[in-house]
Homo-oligomer: A and B are copies of this chain.
Amino acid sequence: MARVMNKIRFARVLHLSQSHVRVTRSIFLSDKRCQSTCSDISGIFPPIPTPFMNNGDIYYEKLRQNLTKWNDYDFAGYVVQGSNGEYPLLTTDERLDLVQEIKDFIPDNKLVLAGAGCESTSATIEMSNKMADNGADAVLIVTPGYYKNQMGHRALLDHYTQVADKSKVPVVLYNVPANTGVVIPVKTVVHLSSHPNIIGIKDSGGDISRIGRIIHETRDSKGFQILAGSAGFLRASYALGAVGGVCALANVLGAEVCLLDQLCREEKWSEAKYLQHRLIAPNAAITSEYGVPGLKAAMEWYGYYGGVPRAPLQPLGPDDVKRIRKTFELNGFL
């Protein structure tokens, strides 16, 4: 039902923007479930954090409690093991278990975009397919970042092409220079956008001219969709043709981020503007400024389990928590 509404909203977006028609395509998809769902990634996806016990183990019970609350919102699905999921700090087994656990605990109409990026191409392919086996509807593939000086057009084109050729589920590119030190060149994105198994990009860089350019230059790649990687530039991205967002802030302000999404889709731009304004500072506080530990601290205020991050990430001290809280208060969210 939520999915149906999503589709309706999606149609509205299409109407809005005839030059960027996004059609569903299922020809290339062998998996049944995927056929019906994962070619459309419009909407809001919280990149959910991974809850830990104090002894460092994953706290599945709390995860399920969090999911129960999140499931009430009109999210299009979840990003599992984006940067906010602390994926680099999990073991391979944990990464796979998490996907399965979450898939089993959410409604059928919500997608799981699973972060399956590894440094090597072969490991990325293997991880993608195991995640698909465990229920991922699509995989989110971060750029390799260790050999950053070597990650130019040729290397990234080869990497993503190989992964997309061999992945059982569709691939979403993931550009997050603050973590990787790598930017996928626009021309690489344009090349990759015509691959039948690459359905979009999550761009977390915040360079809005780049986002506009990507949307424009991939306009002939039907089905290639752009997701804003942060609530901070969600409205600006929609205004240029993005179809959704992966927003850490949606983990704590789910209703507000979904409302912003809706206002944009309904072209209520000036209401959207004011809401967007109020979201920028709280969003920055739990992302660029204080990262995952900041997000986990904020979750506690909204009835979620946040808990501690896994080392080497450190929990925040009380002064930092107070500073974040004040930012939420000043903008009317507490």
Contacts and interface: CB of A to CB of B under 8 A. Distances in A.
A74 to B, nearest CB: 23
A293 B269 CA distance: 38
A97 B88 CA distance: 22
Contact of A208 (B120, B178, B208): B208
A73 to B, nearest CB: 23
Nearest to A310: B120
A233 B209 contact: yes
Contact of A311 (B158, B209, B240): B158
A291 B146 contact: no
Interface SS majority for chain A: helix
A257 to B, nearest CB: 14
Task: State the oligomeric state as a number of copies.
Answer: 4
Interface string A141-162: 0001111111100111011001
Contact of A120 (B151, B236, B311): B311
A269 B269 CA distance: 9
B288 A149 contact: yes
Contact of A209 (B178, B241, B284, B292): B284
Nearest to A294: B150
A8 interface: no
A17 B179 CA distance: 36
A17 to B, nearest CB: 6
A319 interface: no
A231 to B, nearest CB: 9
A236 B234 CA distance: 10
A181 interface: yes
Given A230-B209, A280-B212, A56 B312 contact: no
A146 B179 contact: yes
Nearest to A18: B270
Contact of A212 (B147, B149, B277): B277
Most buried by B among A180, A208, A274: A208
Given A179-B146, A277-B215, A312 B120 contact: yes
Given A181-B181, A232-B209, A280-B216, A314 B17 contact: no
Given A122-B311, A147-B179, A235-B239, 4 more contacts: A121-B310, A147-B291, A209-B284, A241-B277
A-B residue pairs, 7 tightest by C-beta: A209-B232, A216-B277, A88-B119, A159-B312, A121-B311, A89-B120, A236-B236
Interface of A: 16-17, 19, 56, 83, 88-91, 119-123, 144-151, 154-156, 158-159, 162, 178-181, 206-209, 212-213, 215-217, 219, 230, 232-233, 235-236, 239-241, 267, 269-270, 273-274, 276-278, 280-281, 283-284, 288, 291-293, 310-314
